Amino acid sequence: MDLLTMAQAGTVVDIAALGMLALGLAGVAVKRLEVAIVFLALQGVLLGVATGAAALAEGGWRAWAAFGIALAVKVVAIPVMLWFVLNRVTARHEVESVVPLKLAVPLAIGLVLFAYWVARPIASDTLGGQHGFDAPNALPAAMALLLLGLFTMSTRRKALTQVIGLVTMENGIYLAAVAATRGLPIAVEFGIALDVLTGAALMALVAHEINRMFVSIDTDRLRSLRG
């Protein structure tokens, strides 16, 4: 009862991956936090599309569960939570970066190229075989998202933007899992999703608290706590 063939699903995953990568790159370039959150939510939607395609191709409750988790966590829970915190904690809805945007965008593009350089050989090894989809861009894109997420986390001042980086990273891992294995064991997927949800919630809470203590969510203020 496959609604999609494997090849079709692979193409969908490939396109979704490219879309996610574009959104990730755009996320580095945007200035307003609201836009960044929307982009993140859109990434989640594309991830949902990818998992959905996988589920249609693969069938079985596990794939559908993965699809459900992706949608629930990535599209709904995290963006809503971030939106809520954003409106509570800070008046200035601007991204504050230690690296100027003029420099950050070329660096991000460099990272994407680096990711392609690193992941291509792995991609051609594992994808298209028995386990993965035939989606040549999926794994490099996943790697790039991972790097971009970490890059975002380490160059942004506000705790909220760091949450965005974390979720971007996780999206990359999820995408890699979908592309390379057509879905991890459900327990692992569920675990990762829950971890990220908890992490994001915690960081949101911390951002809230930092704001209360230091009247800002700039994590650099935490430096004064150093022993």
Partner 1 sequence: MNELGLPDTFALAPIAVMLLASALGPLFARPLARLARLLPSLLLMLAGSLGVFVAVDTLLTGRTLTFPGWAVTPYAAVSLRLDPLAAFFLLVISAPAVAVALYGIGYLDAAHDGHVPQPRTATDALLGAFLASMALVVLADSVLAFMLAWEAMSLVSFFLVIGDGRRADNRRAAYIYAVMTHIGAAFVLLAFLVLARNGGSLDFAALRAGADSLGRWERHGVTLLALIGFGSKMGLIPLHVWLPRAHPAAPSHVSALMSGVMVKMAVYGMARFVWEFVAPVPRWWGEALIVIGVISAVMGILYALMERDLKRVLAYSTVEHVGIIVIGLGVAAAATNRGHAEVAALALVATLAHTLNHSVFKGLLFLGAGAVQTGAGTRDLERLGGLVRRMPWTAGLFLVGSLAIVALPPLNGFVGEWLLFQSLLGLGSTAGTVTTATLVAAGAGALALTGALALACFVRAFGTGFLAQPRSEHARQAHEVAPTMLAGMALLAGATVVLGVAPLAIIRLLRSVTQDLTGAVAHPALGGSGVFDASQAASAYAPWLLIAGFVALGVLPWLIARLATGRGRERVSPTWVCGVRLEPRMQYSATGFAKPIRLIFQSLIRAHHSHALERQVVPPSGMTVRYVEGVHPIYERHLYQRSVTLLMAGSRYVRHLQSGSIRMYLAYLFVTLIVVLLVAR
Residues that bind partner 1 in the complex, under the rule CB under 8 A = 98, 114, 117-118, 121, 143, 146-147, 150-151, 153-157, 162, 219-220, 222-223, 225-226
Residue 158, classed as helix, strand or coil, is strand
Distances (CA, A) of 189 to 62, 185, 203, 204: 10, 6, 21, 22
How many angstroms separate the CA atoms of 168 and 155, rounded? 14
Contact of 11 with 135, CB cutoff 8 Å: yes
Among all chains, which residue has been given the structure tokens 């460099």? 110
Q: Least distance in Å: CB of 171 to partner 1?
A: 16
**CB 7, CB 134: distance < 8 Å:** yes
The DSSP-derived string for 72-86 is IIIIIIHHHHHHHHH
Residue 1 or 225 with smaller CB distance to partner 1:
225
User: For helices 78-89 and 159-181, what crossing angle results, to 10°?
Assistant: 170
Q: CB 71 → partner 1: shortest distance, Å?
A: 28
How far is it, in rounded angstroms, from Cα 118 to Cα 172? 15
Q: How far is the CB of 220 from partner 1 (least distance, A)?
A: 6
Closer Cβ to partner 1, 46 or 147, answer by number: 147
How far apart are the C-alpha atoms of 145 and 140, rounded to whole Å? Answer: 9
Q: How many Cα atoms within 13 Å fall on the side-chain side of residue 95?
A: 26
Q: Which is nearer to partner 1, 43 or 155 (CB)?
A: 155
Cβ 87 to partner 1, closest distance in Å?
Answer: 23
Closest CB to partner 1 among residues 79, 140: 140
Cβ closest to partner 1, residue 216 vs residue 219: 219
> Smallest distance, Å, CB 135 to partner 1?
20
CB of residue 190 vs partner 1: minimum separation in angstroms? 20
**Among residues 10 and 140, whose Cβ is nearest to partner 1?**
140
Tell me the C-alpha distance between 123 and 139, whole Å. 6
